[in-house]
Amino acid sequence: MYRMIATYAALALGGAASFAAEPAAKGPPGWLTGCWIMKAEQKWAEECWTPVRAGMMLGSGRSGAGESLQSWEANQILPDVEGKPVFWASPEGAARVAFPMVSQGTSEIVFANPAHDYPQRIRYWREGKVLNAEISLADGSKPMRWSYNPM
């Protein structure tokens, strides 16, 4: 009986250890796919991302209050020459700005461009069904955050 319990404990610990040692994801963050919404009284923000196809994702976002649009943006996540994801932002039709990926896990990805004025860092992460987004300076200061639910 002791051996059986020890065997089950070893299997359970081994399974937990292998889960914890799960390698970081590679390529575009497929878990970003879908349309997302955040509402607070009259204010709202929406973001939509296509599924990964040919190594790329297309995104769009808009925000406003009531029926008024306050801002919009077109985005892409494209691989660089080494296959590493790069976030391209084009707010309200402005010239695209590149934010190369600096870190990536199974449910988080961080892009950064320290030479840009603001934002310098763009971070997305999932907490269950919630998609979180944050923009900030490179050191994480002056953050702006959004918590989206599936649309």
6 within a domain of the structure (yes/no): no
37 within a domain of the structure (yes/no): yes
Residue 131 in this model has a pLDDT that exceeds 50: yes
9 within a domain of the structure (yes/no): no
The pLDDT of 67-78, averaged and rounded, is: 98
Residue 4 in this model has a pLDDT that exceeds 90: no
Residues 34, 149: Cα–Cα separation, whole Å: 10
- Bridge-partner residues for 108, per DSSP? 125
2 within a domain of the structure (yes/no): no
Amino acid 25: pLDDT: 61
pLDDT 10s digits, 92-117: 999 999 999 999 999 999 999 999 99
125 within a domain of the structure (yes/no): yes
Domain total of the chain:
1
Longest dimension (CA), the chain: 69
81 within a domain of the structure (yes/no): yes
CATH code for position 83: 2.40.128.20
16 within a domain of the structure (yes/no): no
The pLDDT of 58-79, averaged and rounded, is: 98
C-beta separation of 77 from 87 below 8 A? yes
Structural domain that includes position 136: 24-150
CA atoms lying within 13 Å on the CB side of residue 58 = 2
The pLDDT of 19-37, averaged and rounded, is: 75
Length of the chain: 151
30 within a domain of the structure (yes/no): yes
Amino acid 23: pLDDT: 44
